[in-house]
Structure 1
Amino acid sequence: MPFRRSGLIDRLHIHTRDVAAAKRFYRAVMGALGVPVVEGEDFFFADQLWIDAGERTGHVHLAFNAADPEMVDRFQQAGLAAGGRSNASPEDAGFHPGHYAVRLMDPDGNLIEAVWRGCLSPCA
């Protein structure tokens, strides 16, 4: 699987106490974003995101780029169906103009977001 290497981050490595639950969640949300997941017994990765079994050292806030608002919606639906919990929807106050995003809590309590940074009406 080729790596995108399109952004600032080379790799994000997080630990999970429940690999099966994390795989279920990330398979769903990565599928909604069109990113393949490569799985091993006690690890998996998707592009520059690496997750393996281990003790967590803290929570992270991770935002993925989405190609359009519909992809953000698919991300939300897939994540909720796979055990994620809603943290903020596109209708919630606090998002910047021109952003369309959802935030989910993954099975380990990490804040996982999908964001489209296009221009929605009205656009500033």
Structure 2
Amino acid sequence: MIDHMTLHVRDVERSIAFYTAALAPLGYVVKTHHESTLGFGVDDGTPHSDFYVSPLDEGAANSVPNNAANDAANGTAEQPHGQSSQQPYAPTHIAFLAPDRAAVQALYDAALAAGGHDNGTPGPRPYHAGYYAAFVLDPDGNNIEAVVDWSHDAGFAVPIKTAQ
């Protein structure tokens, strides 16, 4: 069971504004503040946050992809096993549980209005029977998903077509 996670972002103020708006349809609010890191969680009367947004350190924010062509272009000495001395920023995928299809749509709409980019309109997905989700890219390119908990509600069952 995961207690919480932290997403490191390039522009923390921009991302806090984005997530404040995008997660509001799921009942998320800012609950904790630790220096430049903010914790979001469901407004349940407790101080527990399960999703944090924190600034990416400057070295990582400005790093280049780990490959020989970029190392040569940037004059970076090659490390053992082809490792660059800098690590690239790698976008992350995060799925937020939605209580129903309307909340999936609401998160999708709010995220787009807050500056996100469409990465999959709300609808059924072929992953599993009843999987209903939407995908939006946040300002850093992280893939944010809202998904109905299809495993607990047979009412959302969607038949899956299999290759024959």
* 1:45-56 alignment, distance < 5 Å: 45-46=39-40, 47-55=49-57
Q: CA deviation at 1:91?
A: 4.0
Distance, in Å, in 2 between the alignment partners of 1:26 and 1:11 is: 16
Normalised to the residue count of structure 1, the TM-score between the two structures is 0.81
Q: Which of 107, 129, 132 matches 1:75?
A: 107
Question: CA offsets, 1:19-77, max 9 Å, x none?
Answer: 12101110012211011123646221112111111245421110010001101111001
Q: Over alpha carbons, which structure has the higher Rg?
A: 2
Q: Does residue 58 in structure 1 map to residue 90 in structure 2?
A: yes
- The answer to which structure, 1 or 2, has the higher relative contact order (CA under 8 A, 6+ apart) is 1
Structure 2 residue aligned with 1:37? 30
* Counterpart secondary structure, 1:89: strand
Does the CA contact (< 8 Å) of 1:86 and 1:105 recur in 2?
Answer: yes
Distance, in Å, in 1 between the alignment partners of 2:9 and 2:158 is: 40
Q: CA deviation at 1:17?
A: 1.2
* 1:22-33 alignment, distance < 5 Å: 22-33=15-26
Structure 1 unmatched runs, 5+ = 1-7
Does the CA contact (< 8 Å) of 2:108 and 2:122 recur in 1?
Answer: no
The 1:66–1:96 alpha-carbon spacing in structure 2 relative to 1, beyond 3 Å, is same
Q: Does residue 12 in structure 1 map to residue 5 in structure 2?
A: yes
* Counterpart secondary structure, 1:72: helix
Residue 53 of structure 1 aligns to which amino acid in structure 2?
Answer: P
Does the CA contact (< 8 Å) of 1:30 and 1:37 recur in 2?
Answer: no
Question: CA offsets, 1:99-118, max 9 Å, x none?
Answer: 21101101111111000024
The percent identity for this pair of structures is: 34
RMSD: 2.2
> Which structure's residues are more often helix, by fraction?
2
